[in-house]
Structure 1
Amino acid sequence: MTTAPSRDTPTKIVFNAYYRVHPDDRQKFVDAVVPHLSFAAESPGCLFYVFAADLLDPATIHLSEGWVDQEAVDRFHASEPFRAALDAVRRSVRILDHQGQRYEVAAHGSSAPPGGIA
């Protein structure tokens, strides 16, 4: 039996991306991705999956996702909810700019700032 990931589960693969969408299509982008967010976050091997609006540019949306291994990524990318969201974006959203990076993590540790948060 596999143990559910926790905050201590090492992240092996991280994707960070941004999408700058035509301002008239922002809501279409949101409508396309929101229905699959819970599915993504609860997918086996997903440690985090977050879309977030840019605080300075409402037409820019950031994506950050972390996975335990490539098998989990492949399973998610083959899933119907992911394919449906991707197809909806491709059909109805004008992406003006996009950049994404994939990172394979060699080490795992805390990212708390010096002196902590509190």
Structure 2
Amino acid sequence: MLIVAGKGYVDPEQRQTFLAGLEASVRHTRAEPGCLDYVVAADPVEPGRINVYERWESKEHLEAHLAAMAPPAQPAPAVLGREIAKYEISSSQPFQM
């Protein structure tokens, strides 16, 4: 299993426009083979921050997703910076609080 997680930054005044432009892509990605979860969301504390979380069954599924990605249909607000990492997970279990 792979997890891709991190953060990106856009102009705070453009954040909602940026996220709205990704809605169709998020819906499409969640329906792709091997996608277990896919979220791009506004951070509740930092006005220009966007949080990214993806969970994939395998490296091959993630690679297929990346190979099939199309450029956005409309110009999107510029990403001012990002810090995203890929984690290879060998096991997981439900977490009880």
What band does the TM-score fall into relative to the shorter chain?
A: 0.7 to 0.9
- Structure 1 residue aligned with 2:42, among 53, 56, 68? 53
1:69–1:18 distance in 2 versus 1, CA, 3 Å: same
Written as runs of structure 1 = structure 2, the 5 A alignment for 1:29-68 is 29-68=18-57
- Structure 2 residue aligned with 1:84, among 60, 71, 76? 71
Query: Which residue matches 2:88?
Result: 104
Over aligned residue pairs, what C-alpha RMSD do you find?
1.8
CA contact (8 A) 1:25 1:92 kept: no
Q: Which has the larger radius of gyration?
A: 1
Q: Deviations over 1:62-112 (max 9, x none)?
A: 110100111111111122xx3234x85xx5322222111110002211223
The TM-score with structure 1 as length reference comes to 0.72
The TM-score with structure 2 as length reference comes to 0.86
CA distance, structure 2, for counterparts of residue 41 and residue 96 of structure 1:
26
Unaligned runs of 5+ in 1: 1-11, 114-118
CA contact (8 A) 1:20 1:96 kept: yes
Q: How many residues align?
A: 97
Unaligned runs of 5+ in 2: none
CA contact (8 A) 2:19 2:41 kept: no
Structure with bigger RCO (C-alpha 8 Å, 6+ apart): 2
Query: Which residue matches 1:19?
Result: 8
CA contact (8 A) 1:13 1:102 kept: yes
